[in-house]
């Protein structure tokens, strides 16, 4: 499950309503149950069904087996970067700028004294604010950080994480515990690293 963190509160991110799916057909009896057949045309339909689906169960099981072998499940605890480079909420914009230039990161979570995520800032936000107003460097990072942060937990499945990050247009996903304390972070770089590190893994469902 994913959470929005804002003002110290964790609010579940509700998934979009999914479209109805067609149940998997694994036998002729299942086809007959789903699509009642008129007795007069039963024999012909039976023959047509066998011609189109010579062995539905075997084909279905082989496809599921191939998908499983091709791409194992991975979770945030296996992929995330940890420990996480963070900034305290009383840090200045100049401190953030120096950290970005030194480490070449794209995102830095902002935490409070309890190590709970209270915001996140990107290199673009920092450099833009300094370039637009050269005197703003001594301002607080809290003035430019994003205060509504999308987060995941240790059991977040990586494909799902990638999809949600794409849907929400975010480049980094802090991983937190139930209290909001930061445990790790997943970025686009971590997703690419997972593809390289784990043989057979793919972000495609």
185 lies in some domain: yes
63 and 98 both lie in a single domain? no
Q: Can you give the pLDDT at residue 85? A: 96
Do residues 62 and 106 share a domain? Answer: no
Pick the residue with more confidence: 56 or 13?
A: 13
Residue percentage of the chain with pLDDT more than 70: 69
Are 66 and 78 members of one domain? no
pTM of the model: 0.70
**Does 17 have pLDDT greater than 80?**
no
- Residues 112 and 174 placed together within one structural domain of the fold: yes
What's the pLDDT tens digit per position in 119-133? 999 999 898 887 766
How many angstroms separate the CA atoms of 50 and 11, rounded? 51
What token pair was written down for 180? 């909001």
Alpha-carbon span 172 to 135, nearest angstrom: 28
Clarify whether residues 54 and 82 are in a common domain: no
Cα separation, 113 vs 176, whole angstroms: 15
- 156: phi then psi, degrees, rounded to nearest 5: -65, 125
DSSP 8-state secondary structure symbol assigned to residue 27: S
Do 135 and 62 belong to one domain?
no
Query: Is the domain of 64 the same as that of 132?
Result: no
**C-alpha gyration radius of the chain:** 25
Q: Looking at the structure, do residues 192 and 170 belong to the same domain, yes or no?
A: yes
Q: What is the CATH number of the domain that holds 156?
A: 3.10.580.10
Domain limits for position 171 = 73-197
pLDDT at 45 over 70: no
pLDDT per residue as tens digits for the range 126-153:
988 877 666 677 889 999 999 999 999 9
Contact of 115 with 181, CB cutoff 8 Å: yes
- 95 and 161 fall within a common domain: yes
């Amino acid at each position: 499950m994913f959470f929005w963190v804002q003002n110290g509160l964790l609010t579940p991110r509700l998934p979009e309503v999914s479209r109805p799916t067609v149940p998997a057909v694994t036998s002729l009896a299942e086809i007959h149950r789903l699509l009642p057949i008129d007795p007069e045309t039963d024999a012909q339909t039976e023959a047509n069904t066998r011609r189109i689906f010579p062995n539905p169960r075997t084909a279905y099981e082989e496809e599921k087996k191939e998908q499983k072998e091709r791409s194992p499940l991975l979770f945030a605890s296996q992929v995330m970067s940890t420990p996480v480079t963070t900034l305290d909420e009383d840090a200045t914009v100049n401190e953030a700028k120096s950290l970005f230039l030194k480490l070449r990161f794209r995102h830095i979570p902002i935490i409070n004294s309890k190590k709970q995520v209270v915001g996140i800032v990107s290199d673009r936000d920092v450099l833009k604010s300094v370039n637009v107003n050269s005197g703003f460097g001594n301002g607080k990072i809290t003035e430019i950080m994003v205060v509504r942060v999308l987060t995941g937990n240790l059991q977040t499945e990586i494909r799902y994480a990638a999809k949600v990050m794409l849907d929400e247009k975010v480049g980094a996903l802090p991983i937190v515990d139930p209290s909001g304390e930061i445990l790790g972070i997943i970025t686009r770089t971590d997703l690419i690293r997972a593809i390289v590190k784990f043989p057979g893994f793919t972000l495609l469902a």
